Amino acid sequence: MIHGLKFDKQVTVSHLLFADDSLVFTKASIEDCRNLKVIFDSYAAASGQIFNYEKSSMFYSGKLSAEQISAIKNIFQLKMLSKFEKYLGLPSMIGRKKTSFFNEVKLKLLSKISNWQYKFFSSGGKEVLIKAVAQAVPAYAMSVFKIPSTLCEDIQKAMAKFWWGNKKEKHGIHWASCERMSHAKHRGGLGFRDISSFNQALVAKQSWRIIQDSESLMARVLKARYFKHEGFLNAKIECKAARKIRQHSSLAAVEIPSSHGGSMLDVFLDASRLLSKKEAELQIAYWWVTWYARNHFLFKRQKPDPLISTAKVEAVVEAFRRYKKPEHQQMESSKAERAKQWKPPPKNWYKANVDAAIENQRQRVGLGVVVRNDNGDIVAAAIKLSSFNGEVSFTEAEAIECGMQVAGSAGITSVIF
């Protein structure tokens, strides 16, 4: 009789029930609304429980015309909302300005801390209040939403201010950083939670529930909406940015292990079984870099550069392999690196070293040139700013061209690059 929210042919949500609250979804048409009104009236007549229109409201999309809104309002005689109110203490819908939505969480915490500051507490008392109360206030909101990093920093600063302050001096000296205090006690910290990491861990539990209970309503709705043809752990492959990063990788032609409803551990085990050791290391690094680039885009609005992401993967894997090397191999590598140090050019010749640094956020390039004689003395040097056209090879050629110009302006013709 009514049309709910349809995600695909098999997943349709017409209502959600929690305790004594009900959310009903229907198509914004006169026919559906009249049918819904008949359902409410029939339920009231059969059960004796009358629908309370004064405590109820309706939320509609922004695409409805004024005539449609007026007609639907006359059917139910309810107050119409253009923005849905909070449900169970949390916003049902959030936009890009997340800070304004979750500012109430910070204000609630600051209110509690301000009441504590006028009382004397021992270090043990402060520790109990921070761990049992202050860190528990934002836990409910953080278990559902990814709180903005600025808000997490403000909460962290408020707790640090309470810890180091006292009744006479609210602004005490901070003798240790928040990062140091978040270490475990056996590592020299106080065991305070890092709010941003705690938020990430709580949100990750939702991913775990989706993997463990793939037939739940939440899992089926998210699958129909975001990863119809893939498993949850491979959902990011449908992202254009993730696909571009993989296309520039050395594993572009390698088949990615699928989760098939298993756990993340199963995926890692599949990768280690189907791929070589070096390929498995690269694959895991690509997963991490893709996730990192996605978060930067979602929360900082920074578009990832596939070339830079690919270079970051190779740098991470290289650093990992260098760390895992035995000590004698590390010593041999360091000797080899020292052997690769700058070597002077032949007699009466000059040597030009050029380099380029890319600032992806502003799409700019910094070029640097240093020219030395056969004694190692610097005879010419220059820096230059240029725009980045997206090609690293072009940028390197531009750096060499800049080096030739610097050498030419210094009257140097016998030069080695």
Based on the domain organization, do 267 and 364 belong to the same domain? no
Interatomic CA distance for residues 224 and 376, integer angstroms? 65
Q: What does pTM read for this prediction?
A: 0.49
Q: Report pLDDT for 237.
A: 47
Q: Has residue 51 been placed in a domain?
A: yes
Interatomic CA distance for residues 329 and 8, integer angstroms? 57
Q: Report pLDDT for 294.
A: 77
Q: Has residue 287 been placed in a domain?
A: yes
Q: Has residue 18 been placed in a domain?
A: yes
Interatomic CA distance for residues 285 and 279, integer angstroms? 10
Q: Report pLDDT for 169.
A: 55
3-class DSSP state of 188: coil
Q: Has residue 91 been placed in a domain?
A: no
Q: Has residue 149 been placed in a domain?
A: yes
Based on the domain organization, do 68 and 102 belong to the same domain? no
Based on the domain organization, do 188 and 131 belong to the same domain? yes
Q: Where are the beta strands (DSSP E) in 41-88?
A: 57-59, 79-81, 86-87
Q: What is the largest CA-CA distance in the chain?
A: 105
Based on the domain organization, do 79 and 101 belong to the same domain? no
Q: Report pLDDT for 203.
A: 85
Query: In which domain, by residue range, is 238 found?
Result: 230-323
Number of domains in the chain: 4
Q: Has residue 223 been placed in a domain?
A: no
Radius of gyration of the chain (CA): 30
Based on the domain organization, do 106 and 194 belong to the same domain? yes
Please say which residue of 57, 84, 111 terminates a domain.
Answer: 84
Per-residue pLDDT of the chain (417 residues; tens, 9 = 90+): 777 778 877 888 888 887 777 888 888 788 888 888 888 888 888 888 887 777 787 777 777 778 887 888 888 877 776 666 666 667 766 766 677 777 778 888 888 887 776 567 787 888 888 888 888 888 888 888 888 888 888 888 888 888 777 655 556 777 778 777 778 778 777 888 888 888 888 888 888 888 888 888 888 888 887 777 777 766 654 556 666 776 766 666 566 555 444 556 676 677 677 777 777 777 778 878 877 887 777 777 677 777 777 777 777 777 777 766 655 454 555 555 554 577 888 888 888 888 888 777 677 888 888 888 888 888 888 888 888 777 777 888 888 888 888 888 888 888 887
Q: Has residue 309 been placed in a domain?
A: yes
Q: Report pLDDT for 321.
A: 72
- Tokens 């191999």 belong to residue: 329
Please say which residue of 63, 84, 105 terminates a domain.
Answer: 84
Based on the domain organization, do 193 and 115 belong to the same domain? yes
Based on the domain organization, do 108 and 194 belong to the same domain? yes
Based on the domain organization, do 317 and 390 belong to the same domain? no
Based on the domain organization, do 104 and 149 belong to the same domain? yes
Based on the domain organization, do 129 and 62 belong to the same domain? no
Q: Has residue 271 been placed in a domain?
A: yes
Helix (H) or strand (E) holding 367: strand 364-372
Based on the domain organization, do 293 and 366 belong to the same domain? no
Based on the domain organization, do 74 and 115 belong to the same domain? no
Question: Any residues with CB less than 8 A from the CB of 259 and at least 6 apart, and which?
Answer: 211, 231, 232, 233, 234, 266, 267
